[in-house]
Amino acid sequence: MCKLNIIESIIIVLGLLVFWLGSEVAVIKQQLPWLQFAGLIVVFVTGLADAIYRVVTKRSFFK
């Protein structure tokens, strides 16, 4: 479970980094306007998958 949390955290950080790059770097914002949304989708899907996993396996969010 600890390894899964580390991998999930890395994916979320990468998604936030992609979102930041898509919104702050002018060249990327012009060439790839969808990159900002892709970063948000990665963060959202990762969080949703973790929540579903915890509900299905009946693991607490607070442990």
SS3 label, residue 39: helix
Q: Give 53-60's long-range contacts (Cβ < 8 A, gap of 24+).
A: 59/1
pTM for the complete prediction?
0.78
Find the Cα–Cα–Cα–Cα dihedral 27, 34, 10, 17, rounded to 10°: 30
Q: Give tens-digit pLDDT for 13-35.
A: 999 999 999 888 889 889 988 99
Q: Distance (Å, rounded) from C-alpha 25 to C-alpha 11?
A: 21
Specify whether the CB–CB gap between 16 and 38 falls below 8 A.
Answer: no
Joined tokens for residue 25:
């770097």
Confidence of residue 12 (pLDDT cuts 50, 70, 90): very high
